[in-house]
């Protein structure tokens, strides 16, 4: 099983591979089967399986041009397993697995843990009493050894000290205050070269001050409520490439002017469940098994 113990191993930050590896899960059983966030309300069983598959395939193919993508098999009783960002947080040879706050998703933990162990990762387990939802609420800066960690909706702030010790990294706690933006990756995207894209209305005053304090003003890209509602901040950033849901021309042009290659893809079927591009991937290191056939 895992390496759970009272002693938290300290690990050095891993070097960033030239071509990162991403974990995805095909949307074979994707649906809106329950309501655990505001986006799901009114969308029970309203997602089109056909369109969701088309949209996921479009993202998968685009990512395969710039990254290595590996797959985990979906499970028929787990419609949200497609959102692999919530599986855990990876660093080096270690993964800190998720402890979901919502009972509807807790069974996913078994399948993700098994995949990580079968893939050769060592698991560092949080205490049973602390909820933590992986990359949904924990995002590394690309330019400095810093972890941005959200709390207040799904992840408990008590997990942050554990993450800092386990990963030997500075952790910046950001309190989320808008239920629509229940995970950090729905409203905050650290980008290459010290840029950040964020929706100000998702954070309390202290969190906003920290975001602005630790980024140069010229590299802060606040987004409107309209673009935040299109999950603009739920973006995948690899080098100078950004993949996201379709957003406003204004935001598309701003990112392009800053030197980013922006690929906007329709992902509205997944927004019905409260996710988009970043929710559909978990970033891993280079040593993982090949994709499933």
The predicted structure's pLDDT at residue 17:
43
Burial code of 189-222, b = ≥16 C-beta within 10 A, e = fewer? bbbbebbbbbbbbbbeeebbebbeebbeeeebbb
Residue 183 among the catalytic residues: yes
The predicted structure's pLDDT at residue 18:
57
Query: Tokens in use for 274?
Result: 């409260």
> What is the model's pTM?
0.91
Q: Helix (H, G, I), strand (E, B), or coil: what is residue 248?
A: coil
Per DSSP, the chain holds a count of helices (H) and strands (E) of 7, 15
Distances (CA, A) of 69 to 81, 185, 269, 281, 285: 16, 20, 21, 9, 11
Place of tokens 């041009």: 65
Contact 55, 265 (CB under 8 A): yes
Distances (CA, A) of 252 to 197, 215, 244: 12, 21, 10
Q: How far apart are CA 200 and CA 221, in angstroms?
A: 10
Q: Helix (H, G, I), strand (E, B), or coil: what is residue 69?
A: strand
Q: How far apart are CA 31 and CA 43, in angstroms?
A: 9
Which of 25, 187, 233, 279 is catalytic? The answer is 279
Residue 220 among the catalytic residues: no
The predicted structure's pLDDT at residue 1:
35
Q: Give the chain's radius of gyration (CA, Å).
A: 17
The predicted structure's pLDDT at residue 205:
98
Phi, psi of 228 (to 5 degrees): -60, -40
Place of tokens 């990359």: 135
pLDDT < 70: residue spans in the chain: 1-18, 285-293
The predicted structure's pLDDT at residue 291:
38
Query: Tokens in use for 107?
Result: 């069974």
The predicted structure's pLDDT at residue 285:
64
Length of the chain in residues, anyone? 293
The predicted structure's pLDDT at residue 143:
84
Distances (CA, A) of 73 to 28, 112, 115, 173: 9, 10, 9, 33
Which of 183, 187, 215, 233 is catalytic? The answer is 183
């Amino acid at each position: 099983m895992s390496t759970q113990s009272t002693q938290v191993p300290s690990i050095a930050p891993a070097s960033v591979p030239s071509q990162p590896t991403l974990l995805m899960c095909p949307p074979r059983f994707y649906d809106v089967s329950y309501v655990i966030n505001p986006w799901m309300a009114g969308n029970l069983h309203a997602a089109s399986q056909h369109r969701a598959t088309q949209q996921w395939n479009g993202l998968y193919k685009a990512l395969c041009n710039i990254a290595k993508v590996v797959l985990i098999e979906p499970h028929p009783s787990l419609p949200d397993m497609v959102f692999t960002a919530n599986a855990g947080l990876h660093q080096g040879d270690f993964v800190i697995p998720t402890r979901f706050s919502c009972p509807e998703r807790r069974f996913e933990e078994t399948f993700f843990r098994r995949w990580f162990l079968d893939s050769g990762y060592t698991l560092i387990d949080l205490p049973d009493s602390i909820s933590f939802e992986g990359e949904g609420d924990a995002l590394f800066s690309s330019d400095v050894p810093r972890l941005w960690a959200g709390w207040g909706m799904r992840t408990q702030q008590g997990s942050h000290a554990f993450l800092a010790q386990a990963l030997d990294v500075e952790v910046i706690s950001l309190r989320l205050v808008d239920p629509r933006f229940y995970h950090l990756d729905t409203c905050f995207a650290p980008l290459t070269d010290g840029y950040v894209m964020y929706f100000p209305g998702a954070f309390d005053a202290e969190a906003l001050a920290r975001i602005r304090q630790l980024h140069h003003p010229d590299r802060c890209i606040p987004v409107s409520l309209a673009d935040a509602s299109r999950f603009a901040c739920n973006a995948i950033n690899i080098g100078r490439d950004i993949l996201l849901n379709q957003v406003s021309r204004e935001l598309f042009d701003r990112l392009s002017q800053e030197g980013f290659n922006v690929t906007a893809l329709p992902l509205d079927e997944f927004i019905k469940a409260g996710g988009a591009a970043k929710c559909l991937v978990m970033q891993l290191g280079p040593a993982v098994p090949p994709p499933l056939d």
